[in-house]
Amino acid sequence: MSRDAIQEAVHAHFVNRTETPAFIPGETPIPPSGKVIGEAETQAMVAAALDGWLTTGRFNTEFETRLASFVGTRRALTVNSGSSANLVAVSSLFSPQLGAAALRPGDEVITVAAGFPTTVNPILQNGGVPVFIDIQPHTYNIDPAHLDGALSDRTRAVVIAHTLGNPFDLSAITAFCARQNLWLIEDCCDALGARYRIPDTHDVWWPRTPDAADPSLWCRAGDDARERHVGCFGHLATLSFYPAHHITMGEGGAVLVSDPQLAKIAESIRDWGRDCWCAPGCDNTCKKRFGWQLGDLPQGYDHKYTYSNLGYNLKITDMQAACGLAQLNRLEGFVSTRRANFDYLTQRLADCTGLLDLPQPTLHAQPSWFGFPVTLRAEAGLNRVDMLQWLDQHKIGTRLLFAGNLVRQPYFDGRAFRVASTLTQTDRVMNDTFWIGLWPGLTAPMLDYATEQLRTFLGAGW
């Protein structure tokens, strides 16, 4: 069968598909998250399969280029998950190739406990010490008021996520990192497409990689850099392409980076830790494959098998990249539907604020919402488990804000960490917060029904 005939067969499969069944309230599930894929993604994956290349190849090169250009970083490096992206980003800061600027075991990293475990785990996996501070209500993001109190003489970095697609206070965080000369990693796994504008009243700080002579990690930037996508503000940033996320390739993620030295380190850690940067299937990109002498290896030892970092193999296949490429074409549409659904849910629940805390976008931010978080107020006198069960009985999917309070998770027992503020809001999230879906696969009748059931349980009437 020719390539054309196969692609025609794929087309016929989609043309002949029956329409999505009508939504039946109380019977049709309303998942909190999901993927929207169709013929374009399948055609792209089939094309990649027919290439027979399998590992990262032409689709991956195009995906990395287009993703970096969308976000506004110099490089995007694909990896096999958002967790792997965080592992690569944090491990890069521990690379001895950064010289005096590298983190060392025992160094402290400021973060939050209300979030996803694999934002924080790579700090522990590298021997660093996470230092937890509280979050703000409503935005569910780090509370910058606690930053100064978290400092010690071992503080070296800040690693935090833009919670559920709502950017954290980038003016405060970048200014703090610039002032204290700290590395910043933005976990954008839930926030692809979100933007932030540094207000005119604030200085704009742009990350810079240090060298031994100039240990400054940040420089003042011009006004033209004020508004950017999240992912451009830190030294490194990360994305996830798991099906719940803004775009998907099944499993997948990416590290975003603009500094050439950091990019080289991150690529090396993704690709076994090797010093060589040849793409799969290529040889001698450096033009001196047998001309290097590194470590205690003999002169001329094959560069392909020379390792300068403690690495992994976290690459994706070209089929995944092909799916991601097709999804990139839809990204702007996905983000605006998520925003519109957020506004719709806010409007439907606007008069419940006595019983429920509704989410608020961070000042100066245009979020790219991942979910719609709400927190039960004490005035409601209701139990979250009862509420989640009620929604579950009505086929309305819910999720918690991931780990709630990480330090209370079983695996944190016996770990080296520090808590540098009260975690009052974090505990409140652990006890009373949950989120419902707003992903592009949900329709207005679904959102109506979800809010109707929420209101019924709250006793807010309709």
Give catalytic residue positions. Answer: 245
Is position 187 an interface residue for ligand PLP (rule: CB under 6 A)? Answer: yes
Instruction: Identify the residue among 107, 169, 190, 318 touching ligand PLP (CB under 6 A).
Output: 190
How far apart are the C-alpha atoms of 101 and 377, rounded to whole Å? Answer: 45
How far apart are the C-alpha atoms of 123 and 412, rounded to whole Å? Answer: 13
Instruction: Identify the residue among 60, 73, 119, 209 touching ligand PLP (CB under 6 A).
Output: 119
Residue keyed to tokens 């690529």? 267
| Strand pairing report for 183-187 and 155-161 | parallel
Is position 320 an interface residue for ligand PLP (rule: CB under 6 A)? Answer: no
**Looking at beta carbons only, is 116 or 205 nearer to ligand PLP?**
116
Is position 116 an interface residue for ligand PLP (rule: CB under 6 A)? Answer: yes
307 SS3 class: strand
Is position 168 an interface residue for ligand PLP (rule: CB under 6 A)? Answer: no
Binding mask 42-81 for ligand PLP (x = CB under 6 A): ---------------------------------------x
CA angle 399, 404, 406 (to 5 degrees): 135
Q: Show Cβ contacts of residue 12 under 8 Å, excluding neighbours closer than 6 positions.
A: none
E strand or H helix at 454, and its extent?
helix 444-458
Binding mask 75-114 for ligand PLP (x = CB under 6 A): ------xxx--x----------------------------
Is position 139 an interface residue for ligand PLP (rule: CB under 6 A)? Answer: no
Q: Show Cβ contacts of residue 11 under 8 Å, excluding neighbours closer than 6 positions.
A: 39, 43
Handedness of CA 91, 95, 101, 105 (dihedral sign): positive
Residue 115 Cβ vs ligand PLP, minimum distance, rounded to whole Å = 6
How far apart are the C-alpha atoms of 249 and 37, rounded to whole Å? Answer: 10
Residue 37 Cβ vs ligand PLP, minimum distance, rounded to whole Å = 16
How far apart are the C-alpha atoms of 417 and 419, rounded to whole Å? Answer: 7
Q: Show Cβ contacts of residue 290 under 8 Å, excluding neighbours closer than 6 positions.
A: 300, 302, 303
Closest CB to ligand PLP: residue number = 82
Residue 14 Cβ vs ligand PLP, minimum distance, rounded to whole Å = 27
**Looking at beta carbons only, is 242 or 292 nearer to ligand PLP?**
242
**Looking at beta carbons only, is 210 or 440 nearer to ligand PLP?**
440
Residue 443 Cβ vs ligand PLP, minimum distance, rounded to whole Å = 24
Q: How many residues bind ligand PLP (CB under 6 A)?
A: 15
Residue 365 Cβ vs ligand PLP, minimum distance, rounded to whole Å = 16
Dihedral angle of Cα 19, 25, 31, 36, to the nearest 10 degrees: 20
What are the residues binding ligand PLP (CB under 6 A)?
81-83, 86, 115-116, 118-119, 161, 187, 189-190, 240, 242, 253
